[in-house]
Every structure is written in structure tokens, then in C-alpha cells.
């Protein structure tokens, strides 16, 4: 789906819930849609501040929470005490650098048979986290 369509969907969902739609709120989702690095709330706030200097961190927090509640974004991982967010809600996996915390999407299918002890569970999605050291951090080691 196009970014514009997703933004429109978010605006519609806010209207539906009786939530106020402000350019700052829309900008939060816009930042999440345009970034592939799985930003923290602080990262989003720092980017929005450039355009809307009077936006508060609390507003950005609340908007990310709303986006999550409405299913537009997902928490992807915790890193150094901060939660990282993802606007890609399709099933996919993540490659995580244990040195700098960079998180990249990776798309592949796993031919997966749930182990017996999972019987009875209704699995609605799954995501694999692969941890390692990214090429940039490896270059810094030398
Ligand atoms: Zn790294
Ligand atoms: Mn992702």
C-alpha cells in the first residue's frame, strides 16, 4: 500500500475514534513510514522537531501508542532500554547488530513445523530475530 493511502487510513481511524488529527500526529506516522531503521520514540521526536519545533515528546509518545493500538505500527525490539518501532506490519524478520543496535528487515519464508509442545496454540504471527555484528561495526573493529 502507498504511503499516502496508509496516512489516509490513519486519519480515518482517528476520526472514527474521535481523536484529534493534528499535522504533528500525522507527521509521526509519516516518519515511521519513511524510515527503515526501526526508530525509537526519541528518534521520531528529533526528526519531527525540525519541522514542528513546538511538538512535545509526550505528544510523540502518545501518537506512537495510538498507532500501535490501532495496528499501524508494531514494537519490534528493545535496545538499550528503548523500544524500537516498525511501520512494516507484514510478517518479516529482523537482523540486529549487537554493537550499534541497527535493525534491518529481512524477508524470507521459513518452512516451519511448530514443535509438539506448541500444540494447542493458535499462532497468529511469528518473527525471527537474528543477532550479529553489522559490516560497519566490523570495519570499526580493525
Ligand atoms: Zn553495528
Ligand atoms: Mn521491520
CATH code (residue 95): 3.30.1490.190
Q: pLDDT tens digits, residue range 84-109? A: 999 998 888 999 999 999 999 998 77
For the beta carbon of residue 4, count every other beta carbon within 10 angstroms: 10
Q: How far is the CA of 107 from the centre of ligand 2 (A)?
A: 9
Using pLDDT thresholds of 50, 70 and 90, give the confidence band for residue 2.
confident
- From the CA of 93, the nearest ligand is 2
pLDDT of residue 127: 81
Strand ranges, E, within the chain: 74-79, 82-86, 93-97, 103-106, 129-132
Residue 83 lies in a domain: no
135: which 3 cell numbers?
559490516
- From the CA of 139, the nearest ligand is 1
pTM for this one?
Answer: 0.85
- From the CA of 131, the nearest ligand is 1
Which of 22, 49, 76 is at the close of a domain?
Answer: 76
pLDDT of residue 32: 97
Q: How far is the CA of 95 from the centre of ligand 1 (A)?
A: 10
Residue 122: which domain range? Answer: 90-141
pLDDT of residue 79: 74
Which single residue is written with the C-alpha cell 502518545?
62
Q: pLDDT tens digits, residue range 5-47? A: 999 999 999 999 998 899 999 999 999 999 999 999 999 999 9
pLDDT of residue 116: 81
Residue 84 lies in a domain: no
Q: What is the Cα–Cα distance from 18 to 122, expressed in whole angstroms? A: 33
Mean pLDDT, the chain, integer: 91
Q: How far is the CA of 92 from the centre of ligand 2 (A)?
A: 6
Q: How far is the CA of 100 from the centre of ligand 1 (A)?
A: 4
Q: Tell me: pLDDT of 110 over 90.
A: no
CATH code (residue 53): 1.10.10.10
Amino acid at each position: 500500500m502507498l504511503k499516502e493511502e496508509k496516512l489516509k487510513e490513519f486519519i480515518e481511524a482517528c476520526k472514527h475514534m474521535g481523536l484529534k488529527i493534528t499535522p504533528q500526529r500525522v507527521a509521526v506516522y509519516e516518519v515511521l513510514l519513511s524510515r527503515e531503521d526501526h526508530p525509537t520514540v526519541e528518534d521520531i521526536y528529533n526528526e519531527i522537531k525540525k519541522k514542528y519545533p513546538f511538538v512535545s515528546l509526550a505528544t510523540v509518545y502518545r501518537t506512537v501508542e495510538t498507532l500501535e493500538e490501532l495496528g499501524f505500527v508494531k514494537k519490534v525490539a528493545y535496545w538499550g532500554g528503548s523500544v524500537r518501532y516498525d511501520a512494516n506490519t507484514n510478517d518479516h524478520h529482523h537482523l540486529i547488530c549487537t554493537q550499534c543496535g541497527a535493525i534491518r528487515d529481512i524477508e524470507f519464508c521459513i518452512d516451519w513445523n511448530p514443535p509438539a509442545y506448541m500444540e494447542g496454540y493458535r499462532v497468529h504471527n511469528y518473527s525471527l530475530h537474528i543477532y550479529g555484528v553489522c559490516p560497519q561495526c566490523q570495519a570499526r573493529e580493525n
